[in-house]
Amino acid sequence: MLKNKRAIIVVIIMITMPGFSFANDKWAWEQFRNNFIQEDGRVIDWVNNCTHSEGIGYALFFSLSYKDKKTFENVHNWMHNNLKKNRYGLYGWKWGEGDSGTWGMVDMNNATDGDMWIAASLLLAHEEYGNGKKEYLNEALELLAAIRTNLIHKGDDDSLYLLPGKDGFIHGRMLTLNPSYLLLHLLRKFAYYEQDGPWRELYKDSRELLRKSRFGRFQIHPDWIHVDSDTGQVKMYPEHRNFSYDAIRVPLFLAYEQKSFNAPELDDIISTYIHLGRVYDAIGKVTQPVDLLNDTMSLTEAPLGFQAVFACLDKKEQCMDYHRSIKKELHNVSKDYYSFSLLLFTDILFR
């Protein structure tokens, strides 16, 4: 039995292809909607005082998950009226207050995970609300075409690599990549709609990259990595060597993929996070960051969203008790967009 009811979540996913089944408990969603979504549909990350494409994509997915059509439409409308696409057909990642004091697009480079969540949510909306019409489907396919054209890089080793954004991530033969953007379950979704597209090959190569991009004694993923696109060699990125803010989503969505689609080939990767959970159990709390270059762990308690990802493995009721305790604590940190997002993903996916 684990101390403080902290361990590793084994994800029990409620999704099927082509659609998803969704959770019924709406408390966390209502809190997220009240705290982070304005009546006009703008999604606000209060910590960074901005709106970003990730938040839009998450909010679209969450509103579909809880069958909140009104909020989905509000967020979707705000996105169309405010979050502009760049010349590549990808959404600029950041909307907020500019240097002149005016509000609008601040950075037109894209964030690939935001584009992917928006595209996937539009596909889900087509399934949920389409009623034979294809507006959401066509919009999703248009965005997928932009992702396919601009964000998939073929290396000299013939592997496909998913760039984190259109600009700034290719440095000669060296690529800067984000393991948490390798959303295998979304790549499956895209392959379902574009069966002749590159998605299955990208899925296979991304899965292999996740296997190769583990470091340190825990053999887990850092927030960012460098990849030699000539040889496929993965290197530590010293300035971003920690398992922390970004990388927490790697085990979250790997477990999602594993349980959703019966992917035992991911067992060896996920087992490393199970081992880390046992270490957290030994010290009595979930901490972050983990320095994968120096093999050291901070003793600073991780945010509540991190703790929601590291819940219990053995008994579901234990897991749900701990999960409920995290929800209660989140009452006191209502501005923490990221923790609420992670909590919602665990609420939806880990039932």
Contact call for residues 111 and 77 (beta carbons, < 8 A): no
Contacts of 34 (CB under 8 A, 6+ apart): none
- Tell me which residue has tokens 């895209």: 190
Please count the other Cβ atoms lying within 10 Å of the Cβ belonging to residue 230.
Answer: 12
Q: What percent of the chain has pLDDT over 90?
A: 68
Residue 255 has pLDDT above 90, yes or no: no
Look up residue 57 and give its two tokens.
């994509």
Out of 45, 54, 115, 246, which one is annotated catalytic?
54
Residue 6 has pLDDT above 50, yes or no: no
Q: Is 113 a catalytic residue?
A: yes
pTM: predicted TM-score of the whole model, two decimal places: 0.91
Out of 45, 68, 113, 336, which one is annotated catalytic?
113
Q: Which of 37, 71, 56, 77 is nearest to 119 (CA)?
A: 56
Look up residue 175 and give its two tokens.
């690529």
Residue 22 has pLDDT above 70, yes or no: no
Burial of 197: CB neighbours in 10 Å, binned 0-12, 13-18, 19+: middle
| Whether residue 264 has a cis bond before it, omega within 30° of 0 | no
Instruction: State the helix-helix crossing angle for 249-261 and 337-349, rounded to 10 degrees.
Output: 20
Mean pLDDT across 168-176 = 96
Domain holding 152: CATH number?
Answer: 1.50.10.10
How far apart (Å, rounded) are the C-alpha atoms in residues 318 and 312?
7
Secondary element (H or E) of residue 110: strand 103-110
Residue 312 has pLDDT above 70, yes or no: no
Q: What percent of the chain has pLDDT over 70?
A: 89
DSSP 3-state assignment of 335? coil
pLDDT of residue 3: 40
Lowest mean pLDDT among 157-171, 211-225, 315-329: 315-329
- Tell me which residue has tokens 């000299």: 156
Instruction: State how many domains the chain has.
Output: 1
Q: Which of 226, 233, 241, 247 is nearest to 292 (CA)?
A: 241
Strand 160-162 vs strand 152-154: parallel, antiparallel, or unpaired?
Answer: antiparallel
Please count the other Cβ atoms lying within 10 Å of the Cβ belonging to residue 265.
Answer: 10
How far apart (Å, rounded) are the C-alpha atoms in residues 89 and 323?
39
pLDDT digits (tens, 9 = 90+) for 66-83: 999 999 999 999 999 999
| DSSP at 198 | S
Mean pLDDT across 191-211 = 97
Average pLDDT, the chain: 88
| DSSP at 95 | E
How far apart (Å, rounded) are the C-alpha atoms in residues 22 and 18?
13
How far apart (Å, rounded) are the C-alpha atoms in residues 278 and 271?
11
pLDDT of residue 323: 66
Determine the structural domain holding residue 200 and report its residue range. Answer: 3-349
pLDDT of residue 333: 74
- 112 or 331: which leads in pLDDT: 112
Residue 218 has pLDDT above 80, yes or no: yes
If you average pLDDT over each of 17-26, 292-301, 312-321, which comes out highest?
A: 292-301
Mean pLDDT across 47-58 = 97
How far apart (Å, rounded) are the C-alpha atoms in residues 254 and 246?
14
Contact call for residues 322 and 6 (beta carbons, < 8 A): yes
How far apart (Å, rounded) are the C-alpha atoms in residues 162 and 54?
16
pLDDT digits (tens, 9 = 90+) for 275-307: 888 888 888 889 999 999 999 999 999 999 898
Look up residue 138 and give its two tokens.
């066509």
If you average pLDDT over each of 16-20, 115-119, 302-306, which comes out highest?
A: 115-119
pLDDT of residue 318: 53
Lowest mean pLDDT among 114-118, 193-197, 280-284, 288-292: 280-284
- DSSP state letters, 226-261: EEETTT--EEE-GGG-EESTTTTHHHHHHHHHHHHH
How far apart (Å, rounded) are the C-alpha atoms in residues 194 and 65?
23
Q: Is 54 a catalytic residue?
A: yes
pLDDT of residue 8: 35
pLDDT digits (tens, 9 = 90+) for 121-147: 999 999 999 888 899 999 999 999 999
